[in-house]
Amino acid sequence: MHRLWSHRVSRLVAGGGTLLLLLEPAWGSPQAGRREVVERMGASVILNVIVEPKDGRHEIQLTREKLELYDAGIEQQIEAVQPDYSAARIALLLDASDSLRAEPRQLLQVVKAFSAHLYEGDQMMVIAYGEEPEVLEEFTADREKLEQAGLRLKRVSSTKVRLWDALQATLDDALRLQVGYSKRVIVLVSDGFDRESQMAPDVVLAHLARENILVYVLQADDRTRGATRRRALKPEEAVARLVQGTGGKAYPLKDAERAAREILEELNQRCYQVIYKPQGVNPLNRRRILLLANDPTLTLRTKAEHPGERR
């Protein structure tokens, strides 16, 4: 086991002092930002889209003719629509704080359920967090290793529950390294509670959207019981923003078995890529995305916006 942040630092330092520059992510460098904007001007954009049939059908044929796409309120010409049957890389992120309203056996059941329903080629890693995130198992498809990671999970007592920091660390130190995989997913087990994260929610949400990360949440009962919190999102609001912002979905924690089955099924059978070249928009700006299906039997999910290139 290792802590995500400390492991990242030791890995970079071990390669030589000059590599310490990598501790500042690319999105924090103005020069890097300007280069990326120049490179992306006029480039095609890929949206990951999940298709939910309303009538329970399994046969889905999604085509350009069935879709309307608006970027910043401007209708866009779709270049291509294609199913994505590639394997998924899934980071299972577990709130291990002892204040979470869940029994240890429920958290173990989540690990077992997802490890049992992985499709061929899929891999999952297991991370626990409280004050800091800790890797319990690296990416693997080995069911026994994943279940052993669940057994190693220990609840921690701390006044700090840094949800947004854990999400950012999972993106930086785990999912960004999965180069070449279009399906990079976080399955979060939490009620949405955060205390004393250094990362702001809006910043983390923008980074997730920029990297096309899908976030699903297995939602525990709100430990605050709906209390208004000073300078912080209510847990339920945090969950809603995560799933709506990334195109994911929330399930009650008690439905872990159903959630695992449905999430992995849609990732492997109902995931599409919609490709278009943005017209009439400024890539520097934050822009809302609206994707509509002309077919009334289909519901579509994708990320809510392009966060733009401004830092």
> Would 213 be classed as within a structural domain?
yes
Q: Is the pLDDT of residue 42 over 70?
A: no
CA distances to 42, 72, 309 from 39, in Å: 8, 20, 11
Same domain, 239 and 193: yes
Query: 94 with 150, same domain?
Result: yes
Residue (of 253, 250, 260) closest to 301 by Cα position = 250
DSSP assignment of 151-169, as one string? HH---B--S-B-HHHHHHH
Alpha-carbon span 116 to 239, nearest angstrom: 25
Name the band, by pLDDT with cuts 50, 70 and 90, for residue 5. low
Q: Of 162, 169, 154, give the one whose Cα is nearest residue 108.
A: 154
**18 pLDDT more than 80:** no
Does some domain include residue 311? no
In the chain, the amino acid numbered 38 is V
- pLDDT tens-digit map of 127-176: 999 999 999 999 999 999 999 999 999 999 988 999 999 999 999 999 99
- pLDDT band, residue 9 (cuts 50/70/90): very low
**pLDDT tens for each residue of 92-112:** 999 999 999 999 999 999 999
CA dihedral 200, 206, 212, 214 (to 10 degrees): 40
Whether the per-residue pLDDT at 16 is higher than 60: the answer is no
**Looking at the structure, do residues 26 and 172 belong to the same domain, yes or no?**
no
- Residue range 196-210: mean pLDDT, rounded: 96
| 57 and 198 fall within a common domain | no
CATH number at residue 256: 3.40.50.410
The range of the structural domain enclosing residue 198 comes to 88-268
Please check whether residue 206 lies inside any domain of the structure. yes
Q: What's the mean per-residue pLDDT of the chain?
A: 87
Per DSSP, what are the bridge partners of residue 78? 276
What's the pLDDT tens digit per position in 272-301?
Answer: 999 999 999 998 899 999 999 998 888 999
Phi, psi of 180 (to 5 degrees): 95, -5
Give the pLDDT score at 29: 37
Structure confidence by residue, pLDDT tens digits, 224-252: 987 777 778 999 999 999 999 999 999 99
